């Protein structure tokens, strides 16, 4: 009997979008073939599957392509969700998706300009740091009343947002550590110390197609 093909995940270790996809796949227990790519030298097969050229890209055994991180999370957690990350009540799902939309929109816009000001013709990213901090203060308020953004246990919105908050925090660790968000700092520390984080941050060698090896 032929061995079943695994879904193929094209990923980049430090990309927060790819990190959130890997977190959901890890939580679901679904095995994939991990293909670590160089963003400056993307493999032709990845570009053929998803011409937009961004990670993550998940290619299923039947050829279906999922190339948005939140869609990969949805696919994985709706297939298998042993940790109960996916909200079951519509009101909770809608709240989680709204928070993720805010993260992926205004906060990511500020994060990019804070972390990479020269890409945008800016002398520095201080003003955008302040803009991003407004969103983080919103998260701090949520975490003051519950241990996780999803409530009493880690869930979809925690996994979807943590890689981006981590990227913001690591841009200037000393500044981040002294801001008025102790609950957010503890939440992020739990994430970075978790088994899931260790698993998804395993260093893979750059994938090379067989015919190129």
Domain with CATH 3.40.30.10 in the chain: 8-83+199-212
pLDDT higher than 90, residue 172: yes
CATH 3.40.50.2300 fits 8-83+199-212, yes or no: no
pTM, entire model: 0.95
Q: What is the DSSP string of 41-79?
A: B--HHHHHH-TT--S-EEE-TTS-EE-SHHHHHHHHHHH
For the domain made up of 90-196, the CATH class stated in words is mainly alpha
Question: Which residues lie closer than 8 Å to 174 by C-beta, 6 or more apart?
Answer: none
Tell me the C-alpha to C-alpha distance, in Å, between residue 16 and each of 23, 117, 184, 213. Answer: 10, 18, 18, 29
Angle separating helix axes 126-145 and 108-115, nearest 10 degrees: 130
Q: Where are the alpha helices (DSSP H) in the chain?
A: 16-28, 44-49, 69-79, 90-102, 108-115, 126-145, 156-171, 173-177, 182-192, 195-200
3-class secondary structure, 117: helix
3-class secondary structure, 164: helix
Q: Tens of pLDDT along 11-35? A: 999 999 999 999 999 999 999 999 9
- Picking from 131, 127, 129, the residue whose alpha carbon sits closest to that of residue 106 is 131
HSE (side-chain half, CA atoms, 13 Å) at 199: 13
pLDDT higher than 70, residue 193: yes
Contact between 4 and 61 under an 8 Å Cβ cutoff? The reply is yes
Whole-angstrom distance, CA of residue 201 vs CA of residue 147: 23
Q: Which two tokens stand for residue 194?
A: 């978790």
Domain with CATH 1.20.1050.10 in the chain: 90-196
Q: Tens of pLDDT along 65-116? A: 999 999 999 999 999 999 999 999 999 999 999 999 999 999 999 999 999 9
Q: Tens of pLDDT along 101-156? A: 999 999 999 999 999 999 999 999 999 999 999 999 999 999 999 999 999 999 99
């Amino acid at each position: 009997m032929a061995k079943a093909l695994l879904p193929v995940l094209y990923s980049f270790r430090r990309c927060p979008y790819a990190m959130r996809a890997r977190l959901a796949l890890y939580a679901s227990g679904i095995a994939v073939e991990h293909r670590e790519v160089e963003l400056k030298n993307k493999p032709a097969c990845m570009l053929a599957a998803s011409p937009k050229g961004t990670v993550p890209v998940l290619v299923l055994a039947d050829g279906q392509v999922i190339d948005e991180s939140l869609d990969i999370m949805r696919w994985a957690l709706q297939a298998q969700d042993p940790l109960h990350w996916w909200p079951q009540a519509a009101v909770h799902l809608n709240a989680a998706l709204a928070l993720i939309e805010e993260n992926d929109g205004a906060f990511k816009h500020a994060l990019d300009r804070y972390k990479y000001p020269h890409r945008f013709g800016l002398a520095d990213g201080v003003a955008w740091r302040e803009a991003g901090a407004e969103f983080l203060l919103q998260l701090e308020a949520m975490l003051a009343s519950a241990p996780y953004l999803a409530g009493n246990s880690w869930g979809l919105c925690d996994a979807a947002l943590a890689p981006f908050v981590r990227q913001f925090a690591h841009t200037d660790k000393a500044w981040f550590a002294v801001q008025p968000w102790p609950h957010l700092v503890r939440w992020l520390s739990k994430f970075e110390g978790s088994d899931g984080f260790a698993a998804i941050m395993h260093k893979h060698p750059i994938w090379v197609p067989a015919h190129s090896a």
